[in-house]
C-alpha cells in the first residue's frame, strides 16, 4: 500500500493548504495559487490529506453542532460555545466558534476537492486511478456541500480566488450535489477504479458511497422516485469507513464526547421524549449508549449517558453512511408519495433487523401504529432515523424536513426537538464576502 509514501508527500503538497487556511481564517473562500499539484504522487497525496482532514477535523462539528441544537447531546460545561448552541433561539450569535468551525472546515475540504478536479486531467496516470480520483473528489465536493446546506439556508458552491464566492439556495445546492454524484458515477462507468487508487484511500467502497449519497440528496431535494431508485442500488453489505489509527489520526467524536471526562455527552434515550422515546428492548440502545449516572447541572438538567458504538475508542472507525439509512430513505420517500403500505414495509425492515453489517440492530417487533396515517408513519420514520443514525449529524435536517410545521422558539429552549432551523452565517464570512445574504435566518 502506498499510503505511507503519500503521507510523506503530504507535508510538502499540503502545507499551504492546511496552514494558510488556519491562519487566513477570515478568507476561507479564497483558493491559493500554490494549490496546484503537478504530479500523480502530489495529487494523490492531496486526496489522502483531504480525507484525513475531513475524518479527523470536519466530522467533529458536523456531529456536535447540530447535535447540541437537537438535544442529541447534553452539555456538562459552562463554556460559551456549547452553551449558546444548546440554548439556541434568536440569540445565537454568528461568532459562535462551533458554527465557525463547521463552516470553515467544510469549505476547506470542498476547496481541496475543487483543486484536485481542476488539475487531475493535466496529470498522467493510469485511467482507473484518474477515474477513481476524479470520482472521489466529486463525491467529496457533493458531501461537503450537502453538510453545509443541512445547516445553512444558503452556501457557496465554488470557492473563488478573491474570496467573493456567490451564494446559492438549497434547491440549487442539492441539484449540484446530485449532478456531481451522477458525474462521479459516469467516471467509474467509463474506467473502473484501479487497485492503485483503492490502496491510496483504503476502507472505501466508492461506487456504493456515490449511490448512497445520491439516495440521500434526492430525498432532501424531494425527488422521491429517484431516491428510492438510488437506494435500491446500494449493496447493504458494503462497508465504507473513516478509519483511525488511534495515535496521529483519532476518532474526533471520541475526542469530544468520550475521552477524558468530556463536557458534551449523549442524552439519555437519544434525547427523544414522549412517543419518540425508544422502546425498552430496542437493541440500538446498548449499541450506542452505556449507562451513566451523570445529569446536566444546567441546560435542562437532562440525564446523559456514555457514548459507545462507533465512538468507543480513539481508533474506532466511523461509517461514511449506514445501510439502514437506505431503508429509511425508501420508507420516507414512499410515505411522501402516498404509498403508505410500502413505507410501513420499510419501517418494519428497520425495526426487525438483526443482521446489520455494522451491528446496528433494533431487533423489535413489527410496528403497530396506524398504517393509514401518513403523519404517524412519518413520526415513526423520524424516531427510527433519530435512533438508527444517532450522532451522524443528520437530526437537524431530519427534524426540519419531516416536522416542517414546527417553529423553534426565539427564546432559550432546552426541551424542544430543535431550537433552530438554520444557523447564522459566520462572522468572518460576513465580514469578508460581499455576496453573503443580507441577513441571517431569524431562527
Helix (H, G, I), strand (E, B) or coil at 154: strand
Per-residue pLDDT of the chain (443 residues; tens, 9 = 90+): 344 344 434 433 443 343 323 323 334 444 343 445 789 999 999 999 999 999 999 999 999 999 999 999 999 999 999 999 999 999 999 999 999 999 999 999 999 999 999 999 999 999 999 999 999 999 999 999 999 999 999 999 999 989 999 999 999 999 999 999 999 999 999 999 999 999 999 999 999 999 999 999 999 999 999 999 999 999 999 999 999 999 999 999 999 999 999 999 999 999 999 999 999 999 999 999 999 999 998 999 999 999 999 999 999 999 999 999 999 999 999 999 999 999 999 999 999 999 999 999 999 999 999 999 999 999 999 999 999 999 999 999 999 999 999 999 999 999 999 999 999 999 999 999 999 999 999 99
Distance CA 127, CA 187 (A): 10
Output the DSSP codes for 381-409. HHHHHHHHTTTSS-HHHHHHHHTTT----
Residues 6+ away with beta carbon under 8 Å from 107: 28, 29, 144, 148, 156, 159
SS3 73: strand
The answer to whether residue 309 sits within a structural domain is no
328 occurs within a structural domain: no
Residue 307 dihedral angles phi and psi, to the nearest 5°: -85, 135
Position 36 scores a pLDDT of 54
What's 123's domain CATH number? 1.25.40.390
Residue 219 lies inside a defined structural domain of this protein: yes
Complete DSSP assignment for 225-272? HHHHHHHHTS-TT---EE---SSSS--HHHHHHTSSS-SEEEBGGGG-
User: Which residue is listed with cell 396515517?
Assistant: 373
Q: Which three cell numbers stand for residue 41?
A: 504522487
Distance set, CA 181 to CA 85, 239, 320 (Å):
32, 19, 15
Task: Note whether 409 and 416 are within 8 A (CB).
Answer: yes
Q: How many domains does the chain have?
A: 1
Question: Model-level pTM?
Answer: 0.93
Task: Let me know if residue 53 belongs to a domain.
Answer: yes
Residue with cell 458525474: 183
Nine-digit cell string for 283:
437493541
Q: 154 forms bridges with which residues in the sheet?
A: 169
Query: Which domain does 185 fall in, by range?
Result: 3-266+396-432
Q: Is residue 105 part of a domain?
A: yes
On whether residue 192 sits in a domain, the answer given is yes
Strand partners, 441: none
Give the closest residue to 234 by CA, choosing from 254, 212, 213, 253: 212
Residue 391 placed within a domain:
no
Beta-bridge partner residues of 264: 75
Question: In this structure, what DSSP letter does residue 71 have?
Answer: T
Judge whether 310 and 317 are in contact, CB under 8 Å: yes
Whether 144 is covered by a domain: the verdict is yes
Query: Cα dihedral sign for 188, 113, 205, 5?
Result: positive
Amino acid at each position: 500500500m502506498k499510503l505511507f509514501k503519500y503521507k510523506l508527500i503530504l507535508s510538502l503538497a499540503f502545507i499551504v493548504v492546511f496552514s494558510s487556511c488556519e491562519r487566513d481564517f477570515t478568507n476561507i473562500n479564497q483558493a491559493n495559487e500554490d494549490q496546484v499539484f503537478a504530479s500523480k504522487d502530489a495529487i494523490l497525496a492531496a486526496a489522502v490529506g483531504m480525507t484525513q482532514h475531513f475524518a479527523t477535523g470536519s466530522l467533529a462539528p458536523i456531529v456536535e453542532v447540530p447535535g447540541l441544537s437537537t438535544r442529541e447531546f447534553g452539555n456538562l460545561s459552562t463554556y460559551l460555545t456549547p452553551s449558546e448552541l444548546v440554548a439556541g433561539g434568536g440569540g445565537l450569535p454568528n461568532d459562535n466558534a462551533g458554527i465557525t468551525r463547521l463552516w470553515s472546515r467544510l469549505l476547506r475540504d470542498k476547496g481541496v476537492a475543487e483543486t484536485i478536479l481542476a488539475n487531475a486531467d493535466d496529470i498522467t496516470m493510469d485511467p482507473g486511478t484518474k477515474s477513481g480520483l476524479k470520482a472521489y473528489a466529486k463525491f467529496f465536493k457533493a458531501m461537503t456541500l450537502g453538510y453545509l446546506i443541512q445547516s445553512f439556508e444558503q452556501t457557496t458552491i465554488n470557492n473563488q480566488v478573491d474570496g467573493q464566492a456567490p451564494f446559492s439556495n438549497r434547491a440549487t445546492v442539492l441539484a449540484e450535489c446530485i449532478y456531481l454524484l451522477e458525474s462521479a458515477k459516469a467516471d467509474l462507468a467509463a474506467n473502473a477504479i484501479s487497485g492503485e487508487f483503492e490502496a491510496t484511500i483504503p476502507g472505501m467502497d466508492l461506487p456504493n458511497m456515490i449511490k448512497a449519497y445520491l439516495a440521500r440528496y434526492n430525498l432532501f431535494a424531494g425527488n422521491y422516485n429517484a431516491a428510492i431508485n438510488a437506494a435500491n442500488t446500494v449493496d447493504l453489505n458494503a462497508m465504507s469507513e473513516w478509519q483511525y489509527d488511534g495515535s496521529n489520526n483519532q476518532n474526533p467524536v471520541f475526542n469530544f464526547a468520550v475521552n477524558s471526562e468530556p463536557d458534551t455527552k449523549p442524552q439519555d434515550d437519544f434525547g427523544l421524549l414522549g412517543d419518540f422515546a425508544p422502546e425498552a428492548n430496542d437493541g440500538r440502545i446498548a449499541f450506542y449508549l452505556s449507562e451513566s449516572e451523570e445529569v446536566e447541572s444546567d441546560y435542562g438538567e437532562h440525564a446523559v449517558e456514555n457514548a459507545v458504538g462507533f465512538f468507543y475508542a480513539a481508533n474506532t472507525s466511523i461509517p461514511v453512511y449506514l445501510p439502514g439509512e437506505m431503508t429509511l430513505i425508501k420508507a420516507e420517500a414512499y410515505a411522501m408519495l402516498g404509498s403508505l403500505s410500502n413505507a410501513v414495509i420499510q419501517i418494519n425492515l428497520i425495526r426487525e433487523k438483526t443482521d446489520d453489517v455494522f451491528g446496528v440492530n433494533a431487533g423489535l417487533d413489527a410496528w403497530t401504529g396506524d398504517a393509514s396515517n401518513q403523519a404517524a408513519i412519518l413520526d415513526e420514520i423520524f424516531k427510527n432515523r433519530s435512533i438508527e443514525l444517532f450522532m451522524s449529524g443528520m437530526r437537524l435536517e431530519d427534524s426540519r424536513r419531516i416536522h416542517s410545521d414546527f417553529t423553534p422558539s426565539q427564546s432559550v429552549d432546552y426541551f424542544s426537538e430543535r431550537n433552530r432551523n438554520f444557523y447564522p452565517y459566520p462572522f468572518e464570512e460576513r465580514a469578508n464576502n460581499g455576496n453573503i445574504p443580507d441577513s441571517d435566518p431569524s431562527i
